[in-house]
Every structure is written in C-alpha cells, then in structure tokens.
Chain A
Amino acid sequence: MKIKKAKRDVVVVGGGPAGLAAAVSAKKEGAPQVLLIERGRVLGGILNQCIHDGFGLHRFKQALSGPEYAQRFIDDLESLSIDVMLNTMVLSLDGERRLLVSSKDGLMEIEAGAVVLAMGCRERTAGALMLPGSRPTGVYTAGVAQTLINLQNIMVGQEAVILGSGDIGLIMARRLTLEGAKVKGVYEILPYASGLPRNIKQCLEDYQIPLHLATTVVELHGSSRLTGVTVSRVDEARRPVPGTEEFIPCDTLLLSVGLIPENELSREAGVQIDPTTGGAVVDDTLMTTVPGIFSCGNVLQVHDVVDDVSEEAESAGAHAARYAMGRMSPADTYVQLRAGKGIRYLLPQKVSGQMDFVLSARVTEPMENKALVLRDQNGKGILRKKKIRLHPAVMVRVKVDRDRLKGANRIEMGVE
C-alpha cells in the first residue's frame, strides 16, 4: 500500500476542548481547509470522562457536564464541515510542518500551512514519585480510574487513599464514594490544597472525606495487590518527619499529583519548551518558536477551567489560520515577559506589542490582599490588578491592551 499524501491549510492535532475550539476558530477566520486529527474514537478528549458538572459556567453561564460542553463545539465543527480524522495517530511532525499520521486506512503524509498543537497532558505516574515498595497493583492515576469507572464500568477498588489534592483526585474521591467505595482520606504534601476551592467543598467536605495537608505517602505495601500505604507528615522542605508515620490499610491508591503537557511531538518539531510550564514557549499569537506551529490548551499550560482553554484555543486557531493564509507578518522585535516576585510563571513568554493579549500566570503560594503589578524594564508600572485572594490552584488571566506596552522591551509581573 502507498503512503498517501495530502495538503491542508490548518491541521489541528488533538480533538479535546482545545483542538475543537482551535479548529472551529481557524475555519471561522477563513482558512479553507481545516483538518482535525484525534487518536481516540470520539471527539471531546478528557471531557468525555468528566461526567460531573461545572463546565462552561463562564462561557455559557450554565453548569454543563464535560460531554455536554464538548458537544457544543462538535456541533459547530459539523455545521462548518470541518474535516475530522478519528482513530488517527500523529506519529511525527517536523519543523516544516509535515506530519506523518497512521490510521486503519494506512499512513498519510500531510503538509500543513499551519499546525495547532492541542495534545493535552498526561498524568504524573507513580514512577516519578519513586514510591518505595514492590509495585503492587491497585495504584492508579486518578484520570485512569476515572476512565475505567465512568466509561468502562470497571471498579478499580474498594478502599482507597488519594495522594495529591489535584482536581481530578478530588472529583474521584467523590465518585468512588458514590459508587460504594470507602475513601479513607486525601493526602497532600503541600500545606495547602492544589485543587480548586469549590472542589474541596463539593467533593470532600460534603462527603466527610478528610483532607490531610503537609502529609504524603512514603511507602506502598503488598507485593501482589496493594494492602496499605504508610503516610507521614512532612516538614517545610517536604521531607518526611520521622515518627509521624501511620499505616493506612487500603487496596487502592489514586494519584493526583500533577499533569505533564504531552510535548513529545512538539520537541520533535524543534519547539522550545519552557521548563516551568512544561509547555511551548509562545508569543502573543500563541505561536511557538517554530514558525507556523501554534500551541494551546493543556499541552501549552495546565489549565483549571475549560472555559479558559476554549478562549486560548480560539486565539491560537485564528492566528494559525492567518498564518496559513499569509496574513500574518511576524514581529521583528518582541517584548520579553518575566515572572517576578511571587509569580511561578507567565505566559506568553514574549509579545509583539502589536495586539491586545491575555496574560496567564500562576502565583507561587496562597496570598491575600495583594496586587499583581506589571512593570517595564525601568520599573515603571504598566498595569495593576488588586486581588483579594491569590492561590496557586487558580490561574490568573489578565487582559492587556497593546497601548500599555509602548516603550517597553521587557516586562516583569510581580505580586506586591
């Protein structure tokens, strides 16, 4: 069989919320041929397994379930006749925007005018935590457990401990409880929860599931199936405090200890990765360091709410369309953005100054009654936003007018 060849104006990799919004937006911007490639058998990505509600509060002023939220975009996609390849895996991508994809219909080489990367993220696994023990079964990442329970009717265990207070972990604490399992507690190594406050309330407090802060799992027991875990309190440097160990019998450990943007394809194409976000370095058009390759959604930075993902992806999709149609002139100089005091990261990492843009940021620790301040290279204040509460679990999104950047060549955001 021959390797097929094709050309498209915009190719979107990934059919989750980011990819859906990017494809719709690229088409609306006028790109004639938009192709969306998804490795799964349905569109919607991670939203499919999120059968709880709370999606779209911002965008649609309604609490939708994950699949309902996705459906709104899938409907748009269909009405705009955007090409979709399901069950199709992008095997490689190069810096010239050539993709090799595989499906049951064979291999295909696609040349793209512009590419939008929207592959999402994967969960950090037990391996990276180096948990001592004999690697028993019964240890799952929260997202895998969610897929198995919600989509495949498979119960992963009966007595669970949850390590990490990320949102999926909190949601799974509630899910397991509703399905008749006993959740013995959620353990978080940090002195504060890393999931959204509303999830702490609705998923733990409402079900009397204890949350133990500054506590972590230090050992797994059992050599076949998990029989229990040892938990221990940790000091400020996150080191276990000897003498505080406690054995918790359980047959299941769910991990909700962080998400890692899936940038293997991006790296292959030569895209520069920001070590702090784990995602691409982008400018205000969300273009990466490789011309014509854009990035959005969780592959760019891990988001808390899908509404932000859709917004970001629409911007990436529109700019990708303009690039593909030759309507985008690359900036010759950029204003560099830097994270200052109290800020863990800023995105985009550089801006052209030619357009308004949305700045995403995360703070390093919980803070109250502070202001987020943007200053130029001379320390001159450009923008100031008062914040009653700042929390690492809550991404800050700030709209910045291009007028404010006049004369700046470097901007720093800090908490004051």
Chain B
Amino acid sequence: MVEAALGSQFDCLVIGAGVVGNAIARELSRFRLRVGVVEKELDVGMGTSARNSGVLHSGIHYTPGTLRAELNVEGNSMMEELCRQLKVKIDYIGKLTVAGHEEEIPTLYRLKEQGEANGVPGLEILKPEGMEKLQPGVNGLMALYSPSTGIICPYTFTIALAENAHQNGVSFFLGQEVTGIQKTESGFLVSTRQEKRFSTKVLINSAGLYSDRIARLAGINDYKIYPCRGEYLVLDKRLGHHLSTLVYPAPHKGKAGLGIHLTKTVDGNILVGPSNEYIDSPENWATTGHIMEKLREEGEGLLPSLTTSDIIRSFAGVRPKQNPPEIGGFKDFVIEAREDVRGFINLVGIESPGLTCSPAIATMVRDMVADLLPMEKREDFQPERSGRAKYFHELPAEERADLIGQDKDWGEVICRCEHITKKELIEAIQNPLGVRSISGLKFRARVMMGRCQGGFCLPRIVEILEKEFGYRPEDFFSYKEGSNFFTGYVRQPG
C-alpha cells in the first residue's frame, strides 16, 4: 500500500480507483494540492475499468448536447497525446457500422448526422467496395465509417493513470472500503471498513457501480444504480489478423448495448461480446453457460475458422445503469458539484463510453474543484510516465538485443505464449503502487494472459517470487482476500 508522508489530510479525496477516479487524480496532480485516492480493492482498476471492450468510441451514438456526447468527442481527441505521455498503446483502427438490411440504411445517415452534430471528425458513408478495402470479407449493403474509433488496453491505461498520478505525489490507499462520510466544518471526514480515517476539503465520488451508495453516505438519495452485465469470450491471437477495423451491426431498436460483435484488442486478441443482462448484485462477474454458448455461436458465425480451443477465457463487466430494466436504454452521466453538500463532487452512471470520456471528465471535474479550492499549477508536474508502451517482444530485434546487453533478465522469456521476459515480470512485481496480487502481475506484465493461461509460466513466476522476493505459498492470491492459489507446502522445507 502506498501512503504519503502527508498523513491523511487532503485537499481532494477521490473514492474509487477506476479509470475515472485515476484520470481525475492525475489531472489534479498538476496542481499544488494534496490528493488521495481510496479504493476498496487491492489494486486499481479492478472494477468496470478492467472489464470492458477497450474501444475509444467516436461519439456517433449519443444525443447532441448530452454530457456523454460532448465528453466522448473531447475525450477521444485527448487520448492520443495522453497515451503517448503515459506509454500506453493506442490504435485508431476505425469502425464500420454496417447496415445489413435496406431498412437499416437510414440509421446510418441518421448516425452520421448525429455524429457530425457532436463534432465527430471524418465520418463517411461507404458502399461495399469501400467497406471491403477496410475489412476484407465484410458483409453488408452500406456502412458508416468512423476513422476516430480506436482501441486501447483499458486496464493498462487505468494503471498508467494511477502510476503517473502517484509519480506526481498522489497517495493511493488500496484495500480501503469507504463506509462512512461525515460532513464537517471544513469538508468531510471519511472512514473505511478497515478503520482508516481521512479528512478532506473536497470529496469526489467516482465509485462506479457503488456511486449511488457513496452518494447516500453523503446524504444524497437521488440515485440508484441498476447493474447490467456484459459477458465476453477472449479468443486466441491466432485469429487477430482477421480484423483490421471494428465492425458493428447497425443498432437495433430497444437494445441497451451495441449488439454482440467482435472487438480486436491492442494485444491482438479478439473479444466476442458483450451480452446484455440486468442482474441483482453489482459485482457479480460470473459468466454463464447459456450466454457463453450464445457468444460462441455468434463468434463462429462472424469468424468461421473459430474452434473451441481458440477460446482462451471468459470474463464479464457490469454497466452502472441509471434506468431500471423496464425502461432500459441510456441515461446521461451525472457529473455535478453538489450545492446542498458543498465540496462533494458526484459522478454517477458513468457507463459506456466512460473509458473514452475519462480524460475529458477529469478536466471537467478539475474545473469544478477550481470553484471550490485555490488551484496553483505545479512547475514540476511530470506528465510522462516512465516505462515503455510496447512489450519487449514488440520491439525491433536490434533494440531487444541492446536491452539484453544491458540486463540479462530481458533475455529470459518466461511466458512462452506472449513472449514476456523475466525483466518485465520483475518490473511488474516492483510496481510503484506496491500491488502484490497475481492478477496485478497479469494486468501489468501480461503474464498468464495467453493461450495457456499460465500453464507454463505460473510455476516459474511462483519460483521467482519465492526465491527472489521471499513469498511463501500463502502469499499468492489472485486479486482479493480469500482468493489464495495454494494451501501451503507439500512438506515443510527443512
């Protein structure tokens, strides 16, 4: 856990270390403010921010004038520079929204018009020849092409924001679940289940699926979150080359999500999903038999060369919907500085495209903070995160040879599926936020993420952690308490 020498008195305290909370924290770290982030999980980005499609949406889908539309287009345009600074891979691969039937064609024109009203650049209606050039083999009568649609790795981005914020002095309190908020003369007194207390002048609620509960703790009873789950299948990289751009079906009436489709990830995998299903509890990230079966069928329909051994994993994310199932659809983001609870900045219902919007949400919240606190720019703000955007194996051979010359650990490939090196693992183990979970290593070094899902590298990772970092069998856990990997030694080592 990372705790600043400043103690637990803050100017701004952010609840929730998802992509939104971290983007806000990083933005605030440009100023002479004491900023803290409180997160209930043992790592950042373990909620919705690690569990989505990783698409930087263009902004064609949202009603002009809504926060979602504005923040989406603005956020999208900020991403390229931000990802360069944070050393996060980004790829503007574009998207085709395809009309399969005559009656869907007007939808394309409507989306184009809407997108243009939102300020989405470069929109074009394409005929099959044009579509074929962008995505060989694509079916459909016509398509709307949005060149500003991109992909990033959502958890890498979320972690990078936190690390850069931390680099600039933000304190992260992981494993601290906020259970009490008390209004005081000068701000708030925040307490956690783990019995820590913080005082802060400004309190920012970016607790995602729990944002309604946090608001309630602050005495605001206006909101209710309806969790809506989206399940995915992750496919082997072998199939990645099949997608050169994103292809979505034109939206259907009455559907809350965008329809099941294939999404390429920056690391070359393909995601099938997400499904759309209201559930009872916000953090029920289970995948289910009937939905996975449906995803597999749809996936086979879209990618005929898909075999079952290409399915390497499933996962689910949960959308923090503001509308109950009987109403469905989208409701605009709530991003407000409360008049009634002065100093409380409230973010509720940040569902898709929250990842894309996050940098723009951060600047919007910064301006709200500026109305509450004096803000003085720091001269020493460091926008560049240290590290590399690319994995070692993505570097040119000469550069790799040089790195091995500098440190032999670059030469040991420990993960044979993803070609991750020992050096990358060690850097992840020594991550600046001090995260000790195995999932933390997965999300940082991409070990155990490949087709063998750790079959080959887990034993070696265990060995390195034991021998070089003093771990014992009971120290290995996935991402939360009780998620232990092992039950002990086979025999007590003598």
Contacts and interface: CB of A to CB of B under 8 A. Distances in A.
Given A225-B482, A260-B309, A107 B400 contact: yes
Given A148-B462, A260-B309, A132 B412 contact: no
Interface in A129-145: 130, 132-138, 141, 143-144
Contacts of A39: 413, 416
B340 interface: no
B2 to A, nearest CB: 24
Contact of A133 (B287, B393, B416, B463): B287
Contact of B401 (A87, A106, A138): A106
B405 A179 contact: no
Interface string B200-222: 00000000000000000000000
B42 to A, nearest CB: 12
Nearest to A220: B286
B293 to A, nearest CB: 7
Nearest to B480: A224
Nearest to A221: B286
Determine chain B's interface SS by DSSP, over half rule: mixed
A264 B453 CA distance: 15
B493 A153 contact: yes
Contacts of A156: 485-487
Contact of A126 (B308, B408, B453, B487): B453
B489 to A, nearest CB: 5
Given A1-B405, A134-B285, A137-B478, A123 B397 contact: no
Interface stretch (A96-104, A205-213, A289-297, A402-410): A96-104
Nearest to B404: A106
Given A137-B484, A154-B473, A154-B486, A3 B411 contact: no
Given A91-B419, A224-B482, A102 B293 contact: no
A224 B478 contact: yes
B452 A123 contact: yes
Most B-side CB within 10 Å, residue of A87, A224, A267 = A224
Most B-side CB within 10 Å, residue of A106, A136, A158 = A106
Interface string A57-87: 0000000000000000000000000000001
Contact of B487 (A102, A158, A218, A224): A158
A224 B312 contact: no
B458 interface: yes
B489 A125 contact: no
B202 to A, nearest CB: 34
A133 B286 contact: yes
B296 interface: yes
A89 interface: yes
Contact of B289 (A106, A130, A147, A154): A130
A153 B411 contact: no
Nearest to A4: B401
B253 interface: no
B401 A154 contact: no
B481 interface: yes
A291 B461 CA distance: 38
Contacts of A154: 462, 473, 486, 489-490
8 contacts: A102-B404, A104-B409, A107-B400, A107-B411, A137-B483, A154-B489, A154-B490, A155-B488
The 8 tightest CB contacts between A and B, nearest first, are A1-B405, A224-B482, A89-B413, A224-B483, A104-B408, A127-B313, A104-B411, A134-B286
